[in-house]
Amino acid sequence: MSCQPSLHLDSNFHNAAFAFYNPGEPDLICDGWTEVARNMAAKLNETNGWAALADPAKFMELKEIEDYRAMERLRRRVDEIVEDPETAEKLKPYYRNMCKRPVFNDEYLPTFNRPNVTLVDVSETKGVERITEKGIVVDGVEHEFDCIVFASGFEITTALERQFDIAPFAGRDGTSLYDHWGKGFRTLHGIMAHGFPNHFATGFVQGGVTASTTLMFEQQADHIAYIIKEAQTRGATVVEPTAEAEEDWIQTVRTYSVDNSTFTTECTPGYYNSEGEPNGRSFLGDPFWGGFYELTELLENWRSTGTLEGLVLEK
């Protein structure tokens, strides 16, 4: 598939990054994020193989092949640019596409050819040993630095109690949110939970999957603002989803569910797979796999009725 001029169409990008291009859909982004979907669409065009999309197993098989080809291209690029073979080997991405976020920088790999740059591999020690007055210790060796830049990222698969750092997080009758979600997330539209009146949340929990976290938060914020405005207009001071509405949403999420456990477990340790720990919590929080745009339509239809279906309002 050839690349079309980028029109920055969000849906086109999200199709490539999280699903696949539809027959005849061009790649309007044309970068590393969309490479696998672009190449797969080209392959299906050549072989008239679009019927494979109806067979999840066949689709995943074809996608893995294109995935491998894209990652092999990146590994060859490392060999072409990095002069020291040992350093080049450490920099090669031996994992599936999207196990780590793709990055693009023409200056990154050439940096390792500079005489004042050394790559220190901490994979065997699972990180640095300690920080001293002079620098960083790795595997018993102290590396002296004038400046240390912390790029610690964020926690997303650790225990909710640790992430929220709110104790107790209690709703009606002292019910703990951590207990309420102990055997799986339970929400209405990913933002409210039965037994926790006037509690609204943004995040990945049962929300729409998208490459743009901020866009997802905006979607949730719009929905929350609508509910609060309508509750106030109707003179209510308390709003809460019913247990039935919560259960209906759980079933909706399950209807659209996608089993990507094989992909995540085969990734190198990271937040996708709880750093490689068995039975780790999903980093996406049991998402609505219908996707961001389908969820947008679903929420808009829910609001358009004006009935606040599934919510109980109290004055």
To the nearest 10°, report the CA torsion of 262, 211, 71, 116: -120
Q: Which residue has the higher pLDDT, 80 or 315?
A: 80
Q: Quick one: average pLDDT of 16-39?
A: 86
Token couple for 283: 């980093």
To the nearest 10°, report the CA torsion of 44, 49, 53, 58: -100
pLDDT above 70 covers a percentage of the chain that reads: 92
Confidence of residue 260 (pLDDT cuts 50, 70, 90): confident
Distance CA 301, CA 295 (A): 10
Confidence of residue 281 (pLDDT cuts 50, 70, 90): low
Whether the bond into 168 is cis, omega within 30 of 0: yes
pLDDT of residue 150 exceeding 80: yes
At residue 13, the pLDDT reads 84
Annotate 25-57 with three-state secondary structure: CCECCCCCCCHHHHHHHHHHHHHCCHHHHHCHH
Q: Which of 53-67, 110-124, 205-219 has the highest mean pLDDT?
A: 110-124
At residue 4, the pLDDT reads 59
At residue 133, the pLDDT reads 93
Q: Tens digit of pLDDT for each residue in 85-143?
A: 999 999 999 888 888 877 788 999 999 999 999 999 988 888 889 999 999 999 999 99
Contact 21, 1 (CB under 8 A): yes
Cα distances from 246 to residues 73, 185, 239, in angstroms, run: 46, 10, 14
Q: Which residue has the higher pLDDT, 20 or 191?
A: 191
Confidence of residue 7 (pLDDT cuts 50, 70, 90): very low
Q: Tens digit of pLDDT for each residue in 223-253?
A: 999 999 999 999 999 999 999 999 999 999 9
Q: What is the mean pLDDT of the chain?
A: 87
Distance CA 164, CA 169 (A): 9
The residues that bridge with 240 in the sheet, in sequence order, are 312
Q: Quick one: average pLDDT of 137-152?
A: 89
| Residues ≥6 apart with Cβ < 8 Å to 276 | 268, 269
